[in-house]
A and B are shown apart, each in its own frame.
Chain A
């Protein structure tokens, strides 16, 4: 249960963030300079690897109860952010994340910027755009992977899930050379939000000294309960906004 959930949460979170980073890198590469954009990606990956290498061992050194209290609390705050946004998007109260629109905006901004060479970097704008895209999107995934991994005592599995997701998204991105607009990002964000919130509730309560009925088996109740509650909220909000009155097709598209 724990390892499977760990893998799913980290893998899905990483796919979502990798798709968003890919859109930015594609915009930098196609509208500016591929070499500088790829150097930005490599520099971003190295920066993230250094952060993970520094924080990973530090997290495993913290006593488990304190780790669960602090990290569980942070995961809960994080999970509620993801869940809130996913519910608002699914109910039509927040515009859906549109990779093609973001790509067009990034390309327009990149095309208008002036060229600037710095050292071995042929196009500083393309380099920094890619670097920021990878680091900012990757930081959230690094946090999720490290905290889940440390709490479950399996950072290598979390790292494997993250690397697998990045490699898959990168391979598909290289193959299609376009933003991955058909990836159901909003559904995946809802699932990740449910996982982060559920594990946040479980670990933070344990860290604060609470005893769960049934111990780890309580997660089998907490995760579906959070998921059902989120779906009920989506249904209620869609009825409130009138978005749910147009049939199953539109409801299904809301989760794309």
Chain B
């Protein structure tokens, strides 16, 4: 029973969060920041585009740094 539950949660974690959990956490933080800034008189629309730029750069940089001495990962 427990292995099946683990497999169930592992599937949904992989489905929603994917290969880099930091991206998901970054999106949640950016959304919270957008909501907070949106309650003030300051425009908040720019926060998510900036977050996407930063998150993509960070997640790709981690792969480049990690793979500098190894072969490409599989194509799944």
Contact = CB atoms under 8 A, between A and B. Distances in A.
Contacts of A222: 49
Interface in B27-54: 27-28, 31, 34-35, 37-39, 43-45, 47-49, 52-53
Interface stretch (A11-19, A70-78, A122-130): A70-78
Interface centre among A74, A84, A92, A229 (most CB of B within 10 A): A84
Contacts, number: 113
Interface residues of B, number: 37
B24 interface: yes
Given A93-B67, A204-B31, A83 B45 contact: no
Contacts of B27: 73, 76-77, 80, 204
Contact of B38 (A73, A93, A209): A209
B3 interface: no
A187 interface: no
Contact of B59 (A84, A102, A210, A230): A84
A101 B75 CA distance: 10
Interface in A90-123: 92-98, 101-102
B60 A88 contact: yes
B23 A80 contact: yes
A218 interface: yes
Contacts of A160: none
A213 interface: yes
A92 B35 CA distance: 38
B45 A218 contact: yes
Contacts of A77: 16-18, 23-24, 27
Given A77-B16, A89-B75, A93-B72, A233 B38 contact: no
B67 to A, nearest CB: 6
A240 interface: yes
Interface of B: 15-20, 23-24, 27-28, 31, 34-35, 37-39, 43-45, 47-49, 52-53, 55-57, 59-60, 63-64, 67, 72-76
Given A95-B74, A205-B48, A229-B53, 12 more contacts: A76-B27, A88-B60, A94-B73, A205-B45, A208-B31, A208-B35, A209-B38, A210-B34, A210-B44, A229-B56, A233-B56, A237-B64
12 contacts: A77-B23, A85-B19, A95-B72, A102-B75, A201-B49, A204-B31, A204-B34, A205-B48, A209-B39, A210-B34, A210-B47, A212-B45
Which 5 residue pairs of A and B lie closest in terms of their CB atoms, listed nearest first?
A209-B38, A81-B18, A210-B44, A208-B34, A95-B75
